[in-house]
Amino acid sequence: MAQTITLYVDGACRGNPGLGGWGAYVITETEEHKLYGGVPETTNNRMELSAAIEGIKFCPSDAKLIIWTDSNYVKQGITEWIHGWKKKNWKDVKNPDLWKLLDATCQGREIEWNWIKGHAGHPGNEMADQLANLGADQTLKAMKNPALKAEQSSAEAVVVDKKKVEKDWLLDDPFGFDLIESDLQDDSEALENLEQDMLQPEDINDQAEAQDTMIENAAPDLINVEHPHIVITPRTRQVHGPRQLILDTETTGFYFQDTDRIIEVGAIEMVNRKLTGSSIHIYINPKKPVGDSENIHGISDAFLQDKPVYAEIADVLFEYLKGAEIIAHNASFDMNFLDMEFKRAGLVALSEVCEVTDTLAMAKSKHPGQKNSLNALVRRYEIPQRDRTFHGALLDAEILADVYLAMTGGQVSFDMDTLTESEQQEAQTARLSVQVELPVILPSEQELEAHETWVKEFEEKHGTACLFAK
């Protein structure tokens, strides 16, 4: 039976066009492989395509591939738009050389294409992003010191890409996402550690060693840990501002006063309404049976047997959480348990050093008389569904982050019905008094022709007409 291989692919570009890199994180049934490369002058879209091509070429032709990319350009291009491009013989298609190469590379293979939200803290996507940036860094070093080129192996060879792309950011990237330069790591020592890890082709068999490497590259303001059961992922973007931690716990029962204990803690970090990529996740041995609660979270006594007790992880967890705003759904439940556990470990209550926001209370205020469970809010705000057969702390924290952003964001509506009659009359008078005859400037024939060409190119590239043509 053919093996199944999972690939996370990503591209990075510092300027568009500019220095770029691609990364492919390949996970087989028994091994992990980290591939990357770079180009001195390229675009983000070309690097996204290169990552997919190199990742697929690396895998055996008879394997089933499950590919995750945060580029809708790649995912929709290869699954939808490419059929129309072929019929039109690739006319007016951007990056035709790479699209043809990707199409040829995919022939005869069983591939499942998936989109994943970028920079949202998913370990596979974050690893691919790190690899892409490492590819760009290695290319920059090779540009400064040509002697380094001979030392690069095929896994990280710099891809030759001399194609000059017309700098039409609106056509290539109508929403301007590619104009945001990739965040650069300020800590040179952390970068060197990351390079040393990436350049090793051997498999990482020691879970503790892998976690230590990841933690060493964490944001400088986060505590370093060496415990193999404490997983702290590093920040993938440099941000400044108050920390918010979207948090969830799993417990052996509902009553913190009645010897029930915490068995799992998960929290993800957000600053200025942006997820930083940092998170903490810990399983904890409660030293008592989980009982019927296993039906909710799916965590068994056997699974928790070799996990640390709360006292062993309390200091690290407290250091990560303290000073942040804790955001939780039915926050009193989580905070009561956390306060109890930290006091047992000889620390102060977490609620004394953290501000707490309860999204359940927010939802009840915003939607009185309606169901306000996490599942109900996911449906109400049309948040992408995830498998919640069992509740997991980190999974629920990720879902809650989407819910919180949806509940606290959005456009403010201005209801004219709430204005008094006199206010409406004043507004109408003000509108009537401002009547200026504005000159009409008609486009020239050359401008109209250029506009039609642009609209046509947009439709060819994205597979759908732009707003101007609808």
pLDDT tens per residue across span 170-210: 444 444 444 333 333 334 444 444 444 443 333 333 333 33
Judged against a pLDDT cut of 50, whether residue 1 lies above it is answered with: yes
* Per-residue confidence (pLDDT) for residue 430, from 0 to 100: 52
Q: Does a cis peptide bond (omega within 30 degrees of 0) precede residue 308? A: no
**391: annotated active-site residue:** yes
The answer to whether 192 touches 172, Cβ cutoff 8 Å, is: no
Q: Say which range, 18-22, 212-216, 374-378, has the weakest mean pLDDT.
A: 212-216
The answer to whether 270 touches 401, Cβ cutoff 8 Å, is: yes
For residues 1 and 76, give the distance between their C-alpha atoms in angstroms, rounded to a whole number. Answer: 29
For residues 317 and 309, give the distance between their C-alpha atoms in angstroms, rounded to a whole number. Answer: 12
Of the pLDDT bands very low, low, confident and very high (cuts 50, 70, 90), residue 14 is confident
* Per-residue confidence (pLDDT) for residue 205, from 0 to 100: 35
Task: Compute the average pLDDT of residues 131-156.
Answer: 71
Give the residue with greater pLDDT, 338 vs 201.
Answer: 338
Q: State the amino acid at position 142 in one-letter form.
A: A
Q: State the amino acid at position 161 in one-letter form.
A: D
129 annotated to a ligand binding site: yes
* Per-residue confidence (pLDDT) for residue 148, from 0 to 100: 53
CATH architecture type of domain 4-179: 2-Layer Sandwich (3.30)
Q: Specify burial of residue 135 (Cβ count, 10 A radius: 0-12, 13-18, 19+).
A: buried
H or E element that contains 312: helix 310-321
Joined tokens for residue 190: 């952390």
Of the pLDDT bands very low, low, confident and very high (cuts 50, 70, 90), residue 329 is very high
* Per-residue confidence (pLDDT) for residue 388, from 0 to 100: 52
- From residue 224, give the alpha-carbon distance in Å to each of 48, 197, 220, 282, 323: 32, 17, 9, 15, 17
Task: Compute the average pLDDT of residues 120-130.
Answer: 88
Q: Say which range, 36-40, 172-176, 282-286, 444-448, has the weakest mean pLDDT.
A: 172-176
10 annotated to a ligand binding site: yes
Q: Say which range, 106-115, 155-164, 379-388, has the weakest mean pLDDT.
A: 155-164
The answer to whether 234 touches 218, Cβ cutoff 8 Å, is: yes
Residues of the chain with CATH 3.30.420.10: 4-179, 219-408
Judged against a pLDDT cut of 50, whether residue 288 lies above it is answered with: yes
Q: State the amino acid at position 169 in one-letter form.
A: W
Of the pLDDT bands very low, low, confident and very high (cuts 50, 70, 90), residue 17 is confident
Pairing type for strands 110-115 and 64-69 reads parallel
At 325 the three-state DSSP class reads strand
H or E element that contains 149: none
At 211 the three-state DSSP class reads helix
Mean pLDDT of the chain: 79
* Fold of domain 219-408: Nucleotidyltransferase; domain 5 (3.30.420)
269 annotated to a ligand binding site: no
48 annotated to a ligand binding site: yes
Q: Which DSSP category does 164 fall into?
A: -
Judged against a pLDDT cut of 50, whether residue 256 lies above it is answered with: yes
For residues 340 and 337, give the distance between their C-alpha atoms in angstroms, rounded to a whole number. Answer: 5
pLDDT tens per residue across span 59-116: 999 999 999 999 989 998 999 899 889 888 888 888 999 999 999 999 999 999 999 8
Of the pLDDT bands very low, low, confident and very high (cuts 50, 70, 90), residue 238 is confident
* Per-residue confidence (pLDDT) for residue 249, from 0 to 100: 95
* Per-residue confidence (pLDDT) for residue 426, from 0 to 100: 55
Judged against a pLDDT cut of 80, whether residue 385 lies above it is answered with: no
Q: Say which range, 3-17, 168-182, 234-248, has the weakest mean pLDDT.
A: 168-182
* Per-residue confidence (pLDDT) for residue 152, from 0 to 100: 47
pTM of the predicted structure, to 2 decimals? 0.44
Considering the candidates 83, 391, 451, 462, report the single residue annotated as catalytic: 391
